[in-house]
Amino acid sequence: MVKELDKVDVVTIGAGWTGGIVAAETSKEGLKVKSLERGGYRDTNDYQHVHDELKYAQRYELMQDTSIETLTFRNSRDERALPVRRLGSFLPGSGRGGAGTHWNGQTDRYMAYDFEIKSMTEERYGKEKLAEDSGLRYRDWGITFDEMEKYYDKFEKTAGVSGEENPLGEKRSSPYPNPPMIKTKTLKMFEKAAQELDLHPIMMPSSNMSQSYENPDGETLNPCQYCAFCERFACEYDAKATPDVTVLKTAEKTGNYEIRYHSNVTEIVTDENDDKKVTGVKFIDTETREEFFQPADVVVLTSFLFNNYKLLRVSDIGEQYNPETEKGTLGSNYCYQTGLGATGFFDEQFNTFMGAGALGMIADDYNGDNFDHEDLDFIHGGSIHFVQTGSRPILTNTTRKDTPAWGEEFKKESINNFTRTLEVYTMAHTGPHRDHYLDLDETYKDAFGNPQVMLTYNWTEQDNARNKYLTEKCAEIVEQMGAKHIDVDNDDLGNYDIVPYQSTNISGGTPMGTDPENSVVNTWLQHWDRDNLFVAGSSTFVHNSGNNPTGTVGAIAYRCAEGVIKYHKDNQRLED
């Protein structure tokens, strides 16, 4: 028996950054809001002993439990997809705050070029540059950077971003709310080397606090202690902006908001009498196994990328993308990033074990279209990063490429190198491709009997060329920094491997746009086929840029919230 609950104005599926932002903004407007979160409650009191590399970084304490739900994966359509039994390449979160609890806090903006990549590339280089013959499917997002700027600004103020003006960045409406973090010795080495090579390094925009900060909603964040346990961990100091300590608290203070935990949504229900509307969502209480129906005026899908896709698909909302015919949109535009670089080996010891998730410098000289691609066989690029997130001993065992992976030589070198290697790497764009998409798996099921999501993905020739170009730029910087030996990740990328961690920066599956023929939601994040259904998150990206995506995720969520409020007032489609 499905129990029906009291109706709310807005229900969000998930209580991470996107759900939290939508909840904060709509509850402040007086709407009654509920978030259904599949994971449990957790707060700063749960992180008093979080400096445990094995538990959090190796055993994924804060991450999605794949025994309940995972995905299947294959490189190409002619392969059999098999389940991701253990997380690897990316790490979706679960519980209050979602992946926003264990992120590093690197908070970039995307470039004007990203939002208009097709028009701007065509205008500068001609249509052939878009390489449609190779299967790439570039298009504009339907929204411009200038339209997005105020949402970026709002997110940066909520998250208390510490940063400085980027000479290669787009125009800002106001400065970062906090000054940059501390520039350490190794950051200065990178800065000097990059400047000597005529690049424009800046301190990385960081949601780790450079000082005490009260955000516009009145939430307080404390100064970062540079303790080096950020990525894959939660912050015990409230010094990293997370949904838990910002937007979720803001929403809760209004008295109009409730999070229901252990509530796994299994279906978005379409109105029997009006197929342009949804009536609410079905969910399972994972503690009691009871089934509920939560009616709502507006449903906002704010879970991680895979679940945003999956809930639409299992609810039969929208048309599945088919790579043969290229018809349908749901599941299309799945993109990732490459994150390789060059490692420099030094004699000198550095304090590599100190740091913070977003303590670093970046240079955008080889990002977007900031450099000439006329003679290059790829478009876009990537930001060059030098970060001091803090090395930890289990995961950091750097050796030269030709050193054995175990035994005496390995031990000697990996121990010696722990404090004597520095890496410069890129975070690089990948473009949407005809053959890269999400579908449902026909064989493997999740713990609730629903099909697992199936991912088909591989690197392209452009990704290879871009990676080679960028990693060699990284090597130039490392050389300039004075390394005595350099290993460069400029080999062929081979097939995309789901096992080693690369980054949790995945995108697409429910892309935005101005045309229902090639997008799932409009640029207000409103679903084309259901007026009162919105989708927010990196799933709505049209491609993945060469910067960290969380800033854009936050900006999109603020725009979505504005759309939800407008819709709730006028009950109109928002693109009109």
Partner 1 sequence: MAKEKQFSRRDFLKTTGAATGGIIGGSLLGGLVGFNLQDLDSEETVTKDEAGSSEASGDSEASGTTIPEAGRIFFANDEDFNTIEAAMERIFPEDDIGPGAKALGAAYFLDAQLAGSYGRNSREYMQGPFYEGTDTQGYQSNLNRASYFKLGIRKLQEEANDRHETAFSQLEAGQQDDILKDFEADKVDFNVPKSTATSAYFFQLLREATLDGVYSDPIYRGNRDMAGWKMKQFPGHQHSYLDVIESDEFQDIDPLPNFG
- Ranges within 464-523 binding partner 1 (CB under 8 A): 495-499
Query: Which of 38, 109, 137, 392 forms a contact with partner 1 (CB under 8 A)?
Result: 392
Nearest alpha-carbon partner for 462 in 123, 114, 124, 131 = 131
Q: Is 80 left (phi over 0), alpha (psi -120 to 50) or beta?
A: beta
Considering the complex, state which of residue 2 and residue 54 has its C-beta at the smaller distance from partner 1: 54
109 Cβ contact list (under 8 Å, min separation 6): 145, 152, 169, 170, 205, 547, 551, 552, 555
Q: Which stretch binds partner 1 (CB under 8 A): 5-13, 103-111, 124-132, 415-423?
A: 415-423
Q: Are 542 and 113 in contact (CB under 8 A)?
A: no
| 371 near partner 1 (CB under 8 A) | no
Considering the complex, state which of residue 256 and residue 456 has its C-beta at the smaller distance from partner 1: 456
Query: Which of 118, 124, 172, 225 forms a contact with partner 1 (CB under 8 A)?
Result: 225
Considering the complex, state which of residue 19 and residue 355 has its C-beta at the smaller distance from partner 1: 355
HSE toward the beta carbon, residue 424, CA cutoff 13 A:
32
Tokens representing 572? 């109109």
Tokens representing 119? 């028009």
What string of H, E and C letters represents the secondary structure of 115-164? HCHHHHHHHHHCHHHHCHHHCECCCCCCCCHHHHHHHHHHHHHHHCCECC
Query: Which of 85, 127, 327, 485 forms a contact with partner 1 (CB under 8 A)?
Result: 85
Residues 145-184 that bind partner 1 (CB under 8 A): 182, 184
Considering the complex, state which of residue 250 and residue 329 has its C-beta at the smaller distance from partner 1: 250
Query: Which of 41, 444, 448, 501 forms a contact with partner 1 (CB under 8 A)?
Result: 444
Q: Give first-to-last CA distance, the chain, whole Å.
A: 40
Q: Which stretch binds partner 1 (CB under 8 A): 19-27, 96-104, 275-283, 408-416?
A: 408-416
Nearest alpha-carbon partner for 519 in 320, 330, 251 = 330
Considering the complex, state which of residue 246 and residue 302 has its C-beta at the smaller distance from partner 1: 246
Go through 466-481 and write b for each residue having 16 or more CB atoms within 10 A of its CB, e for each that does not.
bbbbbbebbbbbbbbb
Q: Are 77 and 323 in contact (CB under 8 A)?
A: yes
Considering the complex, state which of residue 86 and residue 573 has its C-beta at the smaller distance from partner 1: 86
Q: Which stretch binds partner 1 (CB under 8 A): 38-46, 132-140, 275-283, 539-547?
A: 38-46
Tokens representing 200? 């424009």
| 440 near partner 1 (CB under 8 A) | no
DSSP 76-102: STTSPPEE--S--S---B-STTGGGSS
Q: Which stretch binds partner 1 (CB under 8 A): 163-171, 370-378, 404-412, 480-488?
A: 404-412
HSE toward the beta carbon, residue 512, CA cutoff 13 A:
28
Considering the complex, state which of residue 77 and residue 86 has its C-beta at the smaller distance from partner 1: 86
Residues 53-72 that bind partner 1 (CB under 8 A): 53-54, 58-60, 65-67, 70
Query: Which of 48, 273, 288, 325 forms a contact with partner 1 (CB under 8 A)?
Result: 48
Nearest alpha-carbon partner for 134 in 459, 493, 454 = 459
We find the least distance from the C-beta atom of residue 355 to partner 1, in angstroms, to be 8
Tokens representing 254? 């209004």
Nearest alpha-carbon partner for 454 in 342, 271, 323, 263 = 323
Query: Which of 78, 80, 128, 198 forms a contact with partner 1 (CB under 8 A)?
Result: 80
We find the least distance from the C-beta atom of residue 529 to partner 1, in angstroms, to be 32
Nearest alpha-carbon partner for 249 in 38, 49, 28 = 28
Considering the complex, state which of residue 327 and residue 445 has its C-beta at the smaller distance from partner 1: 445
Query: Which of 3, 77, 86, 573 forms a contact with partner 1 (CB under 8 A)?
Result: 86
Q: Which strand (E) or helix (H) includes residue 360?
A: strand 360-363
| 412 near partner 1 (CB under 8 A) | yes
Considering the complex, state which of residue 23 and residue 455 has its C-beta at the smaller distance from partner 1: 455
Q: Are 338 and 431 in contact (CB under 8 A)?
A: no
Q: Are 249 and 215 in contact (CB under 8 A)?
A: no
Q: Are 533 and 419 in contact (CB under 8 A)?
A: no
Angle formed by the axes of helices 145-159 and 550-570, nearest 10°: 100
We find the least distance from the C-beta atom of residue 391 to partner 1, in angstroms, to be 8
The strand pairing partners of 268, in sequence order, are 281
Considering the complex, state which of residue 326 and residue 348 has its C-beta at the smaller distance from partner 1: 348
Residues 419-438 that bind partner 1 (CB under 8 A): 419
We find the least distance from the C-beta atom of residue 414 to partner 1, in angstroms, to be 8
Query: Which of 148, 227, 251, 363 forms a contact with partner 1 (CB under 8 A)?
Result: 227
Residues 325-364 that bind partner 1 (CB under 8 A): 348-351, 353-355
Measured over the CA atoms of residue 193, residue 196, residue 198 and residue 201, the dihedral's sign is: positive
Query: Which of 254, 397, 403, 514 forms a contact with partner 1 (CB under 8 A)?
Result: 397
Query: Which of 173, 174, 443, 571 forms a contact with partner 1 (CB under 8 A)?
Result: 443
Query: Which of 5, 129, 197, 222 forms a contact with partner 1 (CB under 8 A)?
Result: 222
Total residues in contact with partner 1, by rule CB under 8 A: 74
Q: Which strand (E) or helix (H) includes residue 282?
A: strand 274-285
We find the least distance from the C-beta atom of residue 37 to partner 1, in angstroms, to be 18
Considering the complex, state which of residue 18 and residue 75 has its C-beta at the smaller distance from partner 1: 75
Site string for partner 1, 190-219 (x = CB under 8 A): ----------------------x-------
Considering the complex, state which of residue 12 and residue 242 has its C-beta at the smaller distance from partner 1: 242
We find the least distance from the C-beta atom of residue 67 to partner 1, in angstroms, to be 6
